[in-house]
Amino acid sequence: MITGRRHGSGIIIFTFLAALTLTVVPLPEWGRIVRPDWVGLVLIYWCLALPDRVGVTTGWFTGLLVDLLTGTLLGQHAMALAVVAWVTLKFHQRIRLFPVWQQALIILVLLVLHQLLSLWVTRFIGRPGPAWYYWTPSLFGALLWPPIYMILRSMRRGFSVN
């Protein structure tokens, strides 16, 4: 059991790197409306699948990388993603039991939580509030949850990450 553990860290890191890359890949103006929160989705998946390995610390550090990449206040996404990871860990056993479309609704709530926390920070430092389409990425993220769930699960099984 002990020897079988900690297998496939490379895959986890790879998925996070891919998510970070997708976060900054250049898209036209509509990108800001449809671009889902890739890092949040990947983080939630790994928190659900391997709660003993991926958690608040991972969330915090990836959030810090997001801050660096997107030029936001250092710690803004770190805090938001850490909270998201914490909530996911808290309810991971319940969320796992749901069918995937129902999971998507919960993911929507989690992604909105991420955006809300980061909006609070930006409002707190005195930047103006965004328009209504600030929230659409969460919706697209939730819609994308079933395929992302399938892909990451097949990756996890294919490379026997546990």
Partner 1 sequence: MSLSIALMTMDHRQNHLESLRAGLSLLVYPIQMAVELPDTVSGWFRESLASRRQLQEENAGLRTQLLMLKAQRQKLEALEIENIRLRELLDSSFEVGEKILVAELLSVNLDPYKHQIVINKGDLDRIYPGQPLLDADGVMGQVVHVGPYTSTAVLITDTSHAIPVQVNRNGLRTIALGSGTINRLELPYLPNNSDIRAGDLLITSGLGGRFPQGYPVARVTAIQQDPGKTFAQVVATPMAKLDRSREVLLVWPGDFDITVPAATPTANQQAGADIQIVPEDAAGTDEASE
The minimum distance between CB 20 and partner 1, in angstroms, equals 5
Token pair in block for residue 76: 């803004």
- Does 75 bind partner 1 (CB under 8 A)? Our answer is yes
Q: How far is the CB of 88 from partner 1 (least distance, A)?
A: 15
Establish if 128 lies at the interface with partner 1 (CB under 8 A): yes
Q: How far is the CB of 67 from partner 1 (least distance, A)?
A: 9
Query: Whole-number minimum distance, CB 134 to partner 1, in Å?
Result: 7
The footprint of partner 1 on residues 42-61 (CB under 8 A) is 60
Q: Is 25 in the site for partner 1 (CB under 8 A)?
A: yes
Closest approach of partner 1 to the CB of residue 84, in Å:
12
Q: Which is nearer to partner 1, 131 or 150 (CB)?
A: 131
Rule CB under 8 A: say whether 10 interacts with partner 1. Answer: no
Distance CA 111, CA 36 (A): 9
Residue 52 φ then ψ, to 5° = -85, -10
Q: By CB under 8 A, what part of segment 83-122 binds partner 1? A: 83, 121-122
The Cα 88–Cα 55 span in angstroms is 9
Q: In the complex, which residues of this chain contact partner 1 (CB under 8 A)?
A: 17, 20-21, 23-27, 31-32, 35, 60, 63-65, 68-76, 78-79, 82-83, 121-122, 125, 127-128, 130, 134
